[in-house]
Amino acid sequence: MAKVLAVLSSGHNDAENNYETGWWGEELFAPMEILKKAGHEVELASPLGGKPTIDQASIGNEYDPEGKYKNMYEAGLADNTQRLSDITPEDYDAVFIVGGHGAMYDLAENETLHSIINSVYDNGKIVSAVCHGPAPLIWTKRPNGESILSGLDVTGYPEAVEPEGLPAILPFSLEGEMSKVANYTADEKVVWGNDQLVTGRDPFSSEALAEELVKALDKKK
């Protein structure tokens, strides 16, 4: 059994633009389900700890028509997260950064998270992220001062499919910033940059990414 640390945004509220966001339901719950079914343990963490803010759109009818992820959310499966500052990276076989636009606000430049990512990576373990989850990887610097993504093949949520008008109020372009340091593609659901780092394109890549994680964790046993 491997232990996976899933990292969630604590949430972001932009009162001026009447915009609230956080983590995306499917991007936590679909991988969590697959990892647990494979016999692995999933623990949760966020910058503030406690119950992080979910992006309500992710458990609405458009993106969760059967209410599966809403039910998992209401069952309290993501109510208790540890603070990132309380995490011991050596305890984990993989770190998985959950997407949702919230990741662009409180995870992207979070130095505590960067330290966790680097520790997991330096221990030969797996670093993974889906959708907007790769945001903090951009600013995770290796000892040579370069991004952990530098020169690697990566994917993440494409600029072209961001909701209309939203890019104007986001803190940066995910695709734009990833493209500055890595070989970004929007054409693949899941991309391995090397044997330790894997990224997923969007919510609909969540299951495929989790399946890749399971295979990689089983191989490292």
| Other C-beta atoms lying within 10 Å of the C-beta of residue 17 | 11
pLDDT tens sequence across 166-180: 999 999 999 999 999
Structural domains of the chain sorted by starting position, each given as residue range(s) with its CATH number in brackets: 3-220 (3.40.50.880)
Amino acid at 46: S
* Dihedral pair phi/psi, residue 50, rounded to 5°: 70, -150
Distance CA 157, CA 196 (A): 20
The helix (run of H) or strand (run of E) holding residue 212 is helix 206-220
The helix (run of H) or strand (run of E) holding residue 28 is helix 25-37
pLDDT tens sequence across 92-113: 999 999 999 999 999 999 999 9
**pTM (predicted TM-score):** 0.97
pLDDT tens sequence across 126-159: 999 999 999 999 999 999 999 999 999 999 999 9
Asked whether 99 and 133 are in contact (CB, 8 A), the reply is yes
Q: What would the two tokens of residue 112 be?
A: 């505590």
